[in-house]
Amino acid sequence: MKQGRGSLFAFALALVALSPCPPTASAGDWAGHYGDVLLSFTPGPVPTHVARRDSLPVVGTLVDLYALLAVPEIVRARGEQVLTVGGIELKLAVDGAPGWKVLEQEITGKHINVGPEPGTVTAGLFPGLSFEGGMVQVAHWVVQVPGRARDVVFRLDPAGARSCAGLPGCGESGTFALWAGAVAANQHGLLFSSGYVPAYLNPSQPESDLTPRRGSVGWRERGLVTPDRP
């Protein structure tokens, strides 16, 4: 399958339109920040953001890492609750581990991914992933860290939110990831920004900073979706 060129907007993600010239999004497509990607060493439902692992001779240190998209509350778009994820853009980054590699990448559910390399997810999801308890697993990686891993931090690279550059206001908002609602709910035309919570491998400090990394301009400020309950 050929890789897509440039960024994919929410409509393209949801429909998996792999045209070299993606459709143009309108200003109303960006709904602001809504939700965080939790980087976790376990698949949930309770995320694990700190782990200690031994290294193996020659191989180094292997870890399972999960991307869990969590939303704080249910909102409504176009009269319907936003309960599913129909497309997502994100890119894994690792600090403190030169030469790290993604050995395996698994995206949850039926999908087509046009991300250019392992660790980058630019995917349309069909029929969509449903939030359970406000959370859904979107990706699972097996990551290899050469040598003895110490003070390794897993985070998101904002360059993975490629569609943000084409949406007025999004590019300067500090977006780390993007996701769209599902086609079946007629929510694929809205693109939400996401923050993230990092994961720490073999930290030397007794406490790790688990403060969510988020940008500005929330969904309430944008006003394109409404709370499920007043």
Measured CA to CA, the distance from residue 195 to residue 136 in angstroms comes to: 15
> What does the block give as tokens for 73?
């509350």
Contacts of 1 (CB under 8 A, 6+ apart): 18, 112, 114
Low-confidence ranges of the chain (pLDDT < 70): 1-28, 184-185, 230
Strands in the chain per DSSP E: 30-40, 50-51, 61-70, 75-77, 80-81, 84-95, 101-107, 110-113, 120-130, 135-145, 152-156, 177-180, 191-197, 199-201, 226-227
In this prediction, residue 230 carries a pLDDT of: 64
The residue with tokens 């709904």 is: 31
The residue with tokens 């129909």 is: 86
CA–chain centroid gap for 37, Å, is 5
In this prediction, residue 227 carries a pLDDT of: 94
Asked whether 40 and 140 are in contact (CB, 8 A), the reply is no
Give residue 135's identity as a one-letter amino acid code.
M
Burial class (CB in 10 A: 0-12, 13-18, 19+), 94: buried
Q: Say how many C-beta atoms besides its own lie within 10 A of residue 227's C-beta.
A: 11
Q: Write the CA distances from 157 to 82, 88, 95, integer angstroms.
A: 25, 14, 11
Q: pTM to 2 decimals?
A: 0.88
In this prediction, residue 12 carries a pLDDT of: 44
In this prediction, residue 60 carries a pLDDT of: 96
**Torsion angle in degrees (nearest 10) through CA of 69, 197, 171, 108:** -30
Q: b vs e for 211-224, b when ≥16 Cβ sit within 10 Å of the residue's Cβ?
A: eebbbebebeebeb
- 31: helix, strand or coil: strand
